[in-house]
Amino acid sequence: MMLNGSQIFIESLKREGVDVIFGLPGGVVLKIFDALHQQSDVKVVLTRHEQGAGHMAEGYAKATGRPGVALVTSGPGMTNIVTPLADAYMDSVPIVVFTGQVPTQLIGNDAFQEADNIGISRPCTKHNFLVRDVKDLARTIREAFHIATTGRPGPVLVDIPKDVSINTAEFDYPETVNLRGYDPDPGDDKTLITRAAEAICQAKRPIIYVGGGAVFSNAADEVKALAEIAHIPVDMTLMGLGVFPASHPLSLGMLGMHGSYTANMAIHNADLVIAVGSRFDDRVTGKTSEFCPKAKIIHIDIDPTSIRKIRDIEVHIPILGDVKAVLTELTQALKVSIDGNKKDLREPWWNQLHEWTEQHPLTYSQSDDEAIKPQYVIDRLYQLTTEKDPIVATDVGQHQMWAAQYFKLEHPRRWLTSGGLGTMGFGFPAAMGAQEAYPGRLVLCVTGDGSFQMNLQELATAVLYKLPVKIVIINNHYHGMVRQWQDLFYEGRYASSHLSGLPDYVKLAEAYGAVGLRATSPSDVDQVIQEALHTDGPVLMDFEVSRSENVYPMIPAGGANHEMLLEDPPHLGQAATSSVEAPETVTLS
């Protein structure tokens, strides 16, 4: 069948099972958009900014496990989507981004809207391709999806010059890929699994430290089996939240910089750490030379470069492989060797863990006559929506950490957050991508007054495509996370962290044709959430919260995991309120 490049593009996407792409047109991709316009198998969601398209593709991918797809034009279209590419690269999100390119004979001439898409995206993609001949297009698309979704997932960019989208070729979608330099499945090592099982049997103070890799591997059941069979407590990374039920008695919650006291004390004092699809990020390890000083480490990871990457952290049993496959074998081995007495052997450990939790549980206080506490909003949101099993997207900052702490998730792929790159502006479009995949489900976006402004133009897209995301703005009139660091480490000098000139968010929502609601006192909170839940279409809830609340526990950067701040140090109150006058907020209305 002879087809032109644009038709080949569409047919190839259909073969890959793509039902929706997020994008924005421009000169060199008009032929492709034109072809998309004339069919209905692949839906196009027109975003208001290419960054929005990229994060929507990420949200779609994170929620479904299937690759998200974006299509943008050359030059500025491409450069606008660099942030989502870098974000997806850091967080191992399978997306395929198609960029338009100037015609092949013009490449290198500084042609109109030309950019070196391959050069720009090289360090923030798993791989990228420039298609020079329409004959290579179908095969390249096949390879791009294969690379994005196998092994450690990641973003792949395919650059399509205008003439390639117009020229014709015989369409023949390859069944298999032939990439001799790419081996995504390293297999696993049986002897190491036996050694790991032995270590687990002998451990008195074991801990599972599970991360995003277990989510990507769809290994929630296997993680649970391992924890239960050997009675091991579970710490989750920010990216692992949901892969083990927060309500499970073996769950200690999140570890790391803003992790729970027990989760951090547990890993610091453990004698065996079982790292499952987690990558020893510096927000988790703190000071590496003092990271779990008493422990042997088992590390299960599919990417060889993740294993033994951190200089000071010795890995005693490195197991290269897919989490699901490795854990299946490991629990099998444990079933044979574990003697049933583990509960007794580990009783002191469990007593200690319970003691820590009793001493320092995650808490906040809220009374009726003070400003709304951000934690209270998250807590109520959780209580009022958990039955609906919502998907929760976040932006980046304090609100993200409070959501991680107080929104207790029971299942994987409910949590969309930007961890590695920490991209403000990620949350709202990511929520929309997930909502596009699951029109009937409740999708929440917990965001900050700062972050939301980085992609609020997508309100138009949400309204237009009827994506009923419920947006929760934790409005503290600050770049709160920045202000917190300034409180703690810069003597309360609020350099460029106060957000004056905030829009009236309720009016903003209304201007786009969405519904806006506001809560200013604790007694409004439930009512606003309930009203939003009963409203069709996108709703923006503006929660005016306390402006000085900080996130605790906190391990100051470079500290060890047992060195946690649990509340504002005594000097803070004064620094924050008296020595620096924060300007009054100007509400533009």
Partner 1 sequence: MDVENVEREHIISMRVENRSGVLARVAGLFSGRGYNIESLTVAPTLDATISLMTIVTKGDARIIEQILKQLNKLVDAISVVDLTERAHIDRDMAIIKVTTTPETRAEVFRIADIFRARVMDSTNTMYTLEVTGPGRKVEAMIYQLRSLGIEEVIRAGRIAVAREPYGADTT
Ligand X SMILES: Cc1cc2nc3c(=O)[nH]c(=O)nc-3n(C[C@H](O)[C@H](O)[C@H](O)COP(=O)(O)OP(=O)(O)OC[C@H]3O[C@@H](n4cnc5c(N)ncnc54)[C@H](O)[C@@H]3O)c2cc1C
Ligand Y SMILES: Cc1ncc(C[n+]2csc(CCOP(=O)(O)OP(=O)(O)O)c2C)c(N)n1
Indicate which residues carry an active-site annotation: 50, 112-113, 162, 481
- DSSP-assigned states of every residue in 228-239: HHHT--EEE-GG
The binder of partner 1 chosen from 127, 279, 470, 477 (CB under 8 A)? 127
| 429 counts as binding ligand X under rule CB under 6 A | no
Residue 77 binds which entry of partner 1, ligand Y, ligand X, none, CB below 5-8 Å type-dependent: none
Does residue 366 contact residue 525 with C-beta atoms inside 8 Å? no
513, interface contact from ligand Y, partner 1, ligand X, none, CB < 5-8 Å by kind: none
CB atoms within 10 A of CB 365: 8
User: What is the token pair recorded at 522?
Assistant: 């604790």
What is the CA angle 69-101-464, rounded to 5? 40
| CA 10 centroid distance within chain | 29
Q: Which of residues 168-227 bind ligand X (CB under 6 A)?
A: 211-213, 216-217
Q: Choose the contact partner of 122 out of ligand Y, ligand X, partner 1, none; CB within 5 to 8 A by kind.
A: partner 1
Residue span 139-158 as binding mask against partner 1, x where in contact by CB under 8 A, dash where not = --------x-----------
For residue 409, the minimal CB distance to ligand Y (Å) is 19
Residue 107 binds partner 1 (CB under 8 A): no
Binding site for ligand Y (CB under 6 A): 395-399, 422-425, 448-451, 474, 476, 478-482
479 binds ligand X (CB under 6 A): no
CB of 373 to ligand Y, least distance (A): 13
Maximum Cα–Cα distance across the chain: 75
- Smallest distance, Å, CB 471 to ligand Y? 12
| Residue selected from 2, 17, 123, 178 as contacting partner 1 according to rule CB under 8 A | 123
Q: What is the dihedral of CA 282, 286, 290, 292, to 10 degrees?
A: -80
**Chain position carrying tokens 């981004």:** 97
C-beta of 123 vs 440, nearer to partner 1? 123
Q: Please answer whether residues 448 and 397 qualify as being in contact, where contact means their C-beta atoms are separated by less than 8 angstroms.
A: yes
> Counting Cβ atoms within 10 Å, is residue 37 exposed (0-12), middle (13-18) or buried (19+)?
exposed
Please identify which residue in 76, 108, 109, 122 interacts with partner 1, judged by CB under 8 A. 122
Nearer to ligand Y, 226 or 459 (CB): 459
CA distances, 505 to each of 54, 373, 472 (Å): 24, 19, 11
Q: Say whether residue 492 binds ligand X (CB under 6 A).
A: no
Nearest distance in Å: CB 23, partner 1:
25
Q: What is the DSSP letter of 443?
A: E
> Taking phi first (over 0 means left), then psi (-120 to 50 degrees means alpha), and beta for anything else, what does residue 477 get?
left
Q: What distance in Å separates the CA atoms of residue 374 and residue 384, rounded to the nearest whole number?
A: 16
User: Considering beta carbons, is residue 109 or 523 the nearer one to partner 1?
Assistant: 109
- For the sheet with 20-24, list strands across it: 43-46, 20-24, 68-72, 95-101, 156-161, 127-130
Shortest distance, CB of residue 439 to ligand X, whole angstroms? Answer: 27
- Closest to partner 1 by CB, 319 vs 508, is 319
C-alpha distances (whole Å) from 485 to each of 283, 548, 549 are 15, 12, 12
277 binds ligand X (CB under 6 A): yes
Helix (H), strand (E) at residue 301: strand 296-301
Q: Which of 303, 410, 524, 563 binds ligand X (CB under 6 A)?
A: 303
Query: Would you count residue 178 as binding partner 1 (CB under 8 A)?
Result: no
CB of 449 to ligand Y, least distance (A): 5
Smallest separation, CB 26 to ligand X (Å): 31
The minimum distance between CB 338 and ligand X, in angstroms, equals 23
Tell which one of 36, 45, 156, 257 touches ligand X (CB under 6 A): 257
Figure out which of the listed residues 50, 58, 91, 159 binds ligand X, where binding follows CB under 6 A.
91
Q: What is the dihedral of CA 324, 325, 327, 330, to 10 degrees?
A: 170
Q: Does 94 bind ligand X (CB under 6 A)?
A: no
Q: What's the rounded Cα separation, in Å, for the pair 159 and 157?
A: 6
Residue nearer to ligand Y on the CB measure, 11 or 449: 449
Residue 301's binding partner among ligand X, ligand Y, partner 1, none (Cβ under 5 to 8 angstroms by kind) is ligand X
- Provide the 3-class DSSP secondary structure of residue 345: helix
Nearer to ligand Y, 478 or 552 (CB): 478
Instruction: Give yes or no for a contact between 100 and 72, defined as CB atoms under 8 angstroms apart.
Output: yes
Pick what 277 binds: partner 1, ligand Y, ligand X, none; C-beta below 5 to 8 Å, kind-dependent. Answer: ligand X
C-alpha of 481 from chain center:
18
Is 296 among the residues that bind partner 1 (CB under 8 A)? no
Phi/psi of residue 30, each to 5°? Answer: -60, -35
- Choose among ligand X, partner 1, ligand Y, none what residue 75 binds, the Cβ cut-off being 5 to 8 Å by kind: none
Residues 311-330 that bind ligand X (CB under 6 A): 322-323
Task: Write the CA distances from 7 to 21, 138, 169, 224, 430, integer angstroms.
Answer: 15, 10, 10, 45, 28
User: Of 326 and 540, which has the nearer Cβ to ligand Y?
Assistant: 540
440 touches, from partner 1, ligand Y, ligand X, none (C-beta below 5 to 8 Å by class): none
Cα(531)–Cα(191) distance, integer angstroms: 57
- Measured from the CB atom, the residue of 143 and 379 that comes closer to partner 1 is 143
Part in contact with partner 1 (CB under 8 A); list of ranges 99-107, 114-122, 286-294, 345-353: 114-122
**Among residues 254, 315, 454, 488, which is the contact residue for ligand X, using CB under 6 A?**
254
Integer Cα distance of 264 and 159 in angstroms:
44
Report the Cα–Cα distance between both ends of the chain, in Å, rounded: 58
Distances (CA, A) of 246 to 156, 229, 234, 243, 254: 33, 18, 10, 9, 9
CB burial class (10 A; 0-12, 13-18, 19+) of residue 247?
Answer: exposed
17 binds partner 1 (CB under 8 A): no
420 binds ligand X (CB under 6 A): yes
Q: Which residues bind partner 1 (CB under 8 A)?
A: 118-119, 122-123, 126-127, 130, 147, 179-183, 303-305, 308-309, 311
Q: Which residues bind ligand X (CB under 6 A)?
A: 91-92, 152, 211-213, 216-217, 237-240, 254-259, 277-279, 281, 283-284, 301-303, 306, 322-323, 396, 400-401, 419-420, 422, 481
